[in-house]
Amino acid sequence: MELLVKNGFVYDPLNGIDGEKMDIAVKDGKIVEKVNERKAKKIDASGMLVMPGGVDIHSHIAGSKVNSGRLLRPEDHFKDFEPKTPITRSGVGYSVPSTFTTGYRYARMGYTTVMDPAMAPLEAKHTHEEFNDIPIIDKASYPLLGDWWFVLEYLREGRIEECARYVAWMITSTKGYAIKLVNPGGLETWGFGHNVRGLDDQVPYFCITPREIIRGLCKVNKLLNLPHTIHVHTNNLGKPGNYVTAVETMKCVEDLALENKPAIHITHCQFCAFKGDDWRTLESGSEDIANYVNGHSHATMDMGQVIFADTTTMTADGPFQFALYELSGNKWVNHDVETETSGGIVPFHYRRKSYVHAVQWSIGLELALLIRDPWKIFMTTDHPNGGPFIAYPKIIAWLMSRKARGATLKKVNPRARSRSLLPSIDRELGFCEIAIMTRAGQAKALGLKDKGHLGIGADADIAIYNVNPETTDPSRKYKSVRRAFKQAANTIKDGKIVVNDGEILKHVGGATMWLDVQTLEPIKITEEMKRKFKEYWTVEYENYPVTEHYLEVSRPITVKADV
């Protein structure tokens, strides 16, 4: 099928297009140079923004942890539901939406690619089964590898190439996309109810430090030529004073970066940009982090913006979640996974009038505005940890408009307001910068060559938003901008129009992307590995991998490794 998107203001930063009025031609699911004007279906985008489909680098949408969150929170669903229609399946929201609803809601906002950032390898099948039930958007997931016993042991012994081969086996076996580290070393330590306190704290019984794990996996990442960098949730997350840990974490791989290329992604940076000794003296550490990032080119990050709402926190960081339970007294789920990782869930309500929550809200925006290069920081809420992803249009408005920030700032805790850096920041982002932070930059950081841009050959994933950049000043008319990003005028996925004015037109199955990491010699399953397997896990080796038949729409990406 051919499609022609006519006369829109196109924002395609990866191809240097900044709001030019032009047509985008689509054929067989790809962007092409031109199509037969008479035959092609035409979409009139005049007076509207045309962007590549949104890309989300970090959003918990599927898998065992997310599903425990759904189970834990019936009250989250009661008021927010979507009935079945002739086209769509029914479902529920709010902070942990059911699978179908997740796909529809992303598509309605013009998003077409979402990365689930935390998959316990042993439970990878669960993530993939849920992916099959998340329609429209393309997905991928990052296996949690920072506390996997194989990694700890091989890195401790300095056997980096063997470690790399096992990581390659693991990524391919779990049909994963990137190396995820969560509180490296801390999750193994949580196995007995403790935690590590910093980069140089030893992991009990394993004689290895978080620093060694991060550096080791950073090297492994390079040996394997993975498209994304290591994706790191830092140690000490959610603790006052932790901005130091965040900076140290970036520093610790500085020397491993090549040719100014990123070597590390610090995720939901807001949660590790806290200054102060305790909650009372909490302050923003955003300036220190921004200064570091502005002066270096080896790190990217995402915001983890806080939204004032009732949400559900969920991370693989078991000890952090337990601390959050102790702090809030809310219900708490813990789920440790043998040999690999842990996880926890705590419902959480961010309130405007809370000093700490308001400081957190401010930190996220400060980071996004103080870091000068939008290719280095991306928009996320760490859904649902900072708030549900449906709040993205609000964040766009805050980033584009001082006035929007001021309006919210007026309503927050006064002490937090008086300390916020936001009043001193004049910067207001333009549509091009928003396009970078919500799609182009994320796709680039992920190494997704066919996503995040509208060049010839790219996937025909397109979002059209009903706001005219020539006549709308986002700084003043931020509410119209917010409205436009909330409901795309059209979302096009693989060349098919799937959304019209926020209404789902088609229920198509999105693809699951995964890395087929090919090592120089195919990975042999040694006797050593089989023996370890029996010792380490309670399932048989044969039953561990996710076979391809678990992926209803499988999109393997071949990666040639150097080991």
Partner 1 sequence: MPVVKAVTCPVCGSLCDDIELTIEDKEIVKVKNGCAMCESKFLNYNGKHRIRKPLIRKDGKLVKATLKEAVRKTAEILAEANYPILYGWSSTSCEATRVGLELAEEVGGVIDNTAVVCHGPSLLSVQEIGISSCTLGQIRHRADLVIYWGSDPWSAHPRHIERYTTFSEGRFERSEWRGYVAKIKASIGRKKIESVLRRLFLKKKPTVPSSYLEGRVCPTISREGRKLIVIDVRRTKSAEMADYFIQVEPNKDYELLQAFRALIRDQELDVDKVAGVPVEYLEEVSDAMVGCNFGALFFGVGLTMSRGKLRNIDAALSLVRDLNTRTKFIIMPMRGHFNVAGANTVSTWQTGYPYAVDFSLGYPRYNPGETSVVDVLMRKESDAALIVASDPVANFPRKAAEHLVENPLVVVDPHMNATAHMADVVLPSAFVGIEASGTAYRMDHVPLPLKRVAEPPRGVLPDEEILRRILSEVRKIKRKKQVAAEAQ
Q: Which residues bind Zn ion (CB under 5 A)?
A: 382
327 interacts with partner 1 by CB under 8 A:
no
- Distance, in Å, from the CA atom of 475 to the CA atom of 430, rounded to the nearest integer, reads 9
**C-beta of 191: minimal distance to partner 1 in Å?**
6
**C-beta of 117: minimal distance to Zn ion in Å?**
5
In terms of Cα–Cα distance, which of 227, 223, 289, 215 is closest to 252?
215
| Neighbour-count burial of 446, counting CB atoms closer than 10 A to its CB (0-12 exposed, 13-18 middle, 19+ buried) | buried
Decide whether 465 or 550 has the Cβ nearer to partner 1: 550
125 interacts with partner 1 by CB under 8 A:
yes
Q: Write out the binding residues for partner 1, residues 202-241 only, by CB under 8 A.
A: 205
**C-beta of 121: minimal distance to Zn ion in Å?**
17
Tokens linked to 486: 């909330």
In terms of Cα–Cα distance, which of 217, 234, 199 is closest to 155?
217
260 interacts with partner 1 by CB under 8 A:
no
**C-beta of 268: minimal distance to partner 1 in Å?**
22
- Distance, in Å, from the CA atom of 219 to the CA atom of 240, rounded to the nearest integer, reads 30
**C-beta of 338: minimal distance to partner 1 in Å?**
3
CB under 5 to 8 A by kind: which of partner 1, Zn ion, none does 470 bind?
A: none
CB under 5 to 8 A by kind: which of Zn ion, partner 1, none does 205 bind?
A: partner 1
In terms of Cα–Cα distance, which of 126, 287, 253 is closest to 181?
253
- Distance, in Å, from the CA atom of 319 to the CA atom of 342, rounded to the nearest integer, reads 9
CB 412 within 8 A of CB 485: no
Decide whether 366 or 382 has the Cβ nearer to Zn ion: 382
64 interacts with partner 1 by CB under 8 A:
yes
**C-beta of 127: minimal distance to partner 1 in Å?**
10
Judged by DSSP in three states, 55 sits in: strand
**C-beta of 289: minimal distance to Zn ion in Å?**
18
CB under 5 to 8 A by kind: which of partner 1, Zn ion, none does 382 bind?
A: Zn ion
The amino acid present at 118, given as its one-letter code, is: A
DSSP code per residue over 118-150: EE-GGGHHHHHHHHHTSBSSEEEEEEB-TT-HH
**C-beta of 203: minimal distance to partner 1 in Å?**
13
- Distance, in Å, from the CA atom of 514 to the CA atom of 494, rounded to the nearest integer, reads 18
Judged by DSSP in three states, 161 sits in: helix
| Neighbour-count burial of 556, counting CB atoms closer than 10 A to its CB (0-12 exposed, 13-18 middle, 19+ buried) | middle
CB under 5 to 8 A by kind: which of Zn ion, partner 1, none does 126 bind?
A: partner 1
End-to-end Cα, the chain, rounded Å: 42
Decide whether 315 or 519 has the Cβ nearer to partner 1: 315
Among 150, 322, 355, 375, binds partner 1 (CB under 8 A): 322
Decide whether 313 or 491 has the Cβ nearer to Zn ion: 313
CB under 5 to 8 A by kind: which of Zn ion, partner 1, none does 168 bind?
A: none
437 interacts with partner 1 by CB under 8 A:
no
User: What number of other Cβ atoms are within 10 A of residue 544's Cβ?
Assistant: 16
Among 353, 410, 547, 560, binds partner 1 (CB under 8 A): 547
Site string for partner 1, 65-84 (x = CB under 8 A): --x--xxxxx-xx---xxxx
Decide whether 182 or 218 has the Cβ nearer to partner 1: 182
Q: In what order do the strands lie in the sheet with 554-560?
A: 54-56, 111-119, 138-143, 512-518, 554-560
Among 137, 345, 422, 511, binds partner 1 (CB under 8 A): 345
Q: Which stretch binds partner 1 (CB under 8 A): 97-105, 209-217, 476-484, 501-509?
A: 97-105
Tokens linked to 158: 């300095």
Site string for partner 1, 278-317 (x = CB under 8 A): ----------------------------------------
- Nearest-CB residue for Zn ion: 382
- β-strand partners of 22: 8
- β-strand partners of 378: 302
Judged by DSSP in three states, 304 sits in: coil
- Distance, in Å, from the CA atom of 275 to the CA atom of 262, rounded to the nearest integer, reads 25
Decide whether 96 or 397 has the Cβ nearer to Zn ion: 96
136 interacts with partner 1 by CB under 8 A:
no
Decide whether 41 or 84 has the Cβ nearer to partner 1: 84
User: What number of other Cβ atoms are within 10 A of residue 32's Cβ?
Assistant: 17
**C-beta of 329: minimal distance to Zn ion in Å?**
23
Q: Which stretch binds partner 1 (CB under 8 A): 169-177, 230-238, 250-258, 335-343?
A: 335-343
CB 284 within 8 A of CB 366: yes
DSSP code per residue over 184-249: TTHHHHHTTT----STTPPPTTT---HHHHHHHHHHHHHHHT-SS-EEEEPTTTTSTTTHHHHHHH
Site string for partner 1, 467-506 (x = CB under 8 A): ----------------------------------------
451 interacts with partner 1 by CB under 8 A:
no
- Distance, in Å, from the CA atom of 51 to the CA atom of 48, rounded to the nearest integer, reads 10
CB 393 within 8 A of CB 482: yes
543 interacts with partner 1 by CB under 8 A:
yes
Q: Which stretch binds partner 1 (CB under 8 A): 124-132, 227-235, 272-280, 514-522?
A: 124-132
Among 2, 133, 161, 162, binds partner 1 (CB under 8 A): 133
Dihedral sign, Cα of residue 261, residue 457, residue 553, residue 498: positive
Q: What residue ranges bind partner 1 (CB under 8 A)?
A: 62, 64, 67, 70-74, 76-77, 81-84, 89-92, 96-100, 122-123, 125-126, 129-130, 133, 191-193, 205, 322, 325-326, 331-339, 342, 345-346, 535-543, 547
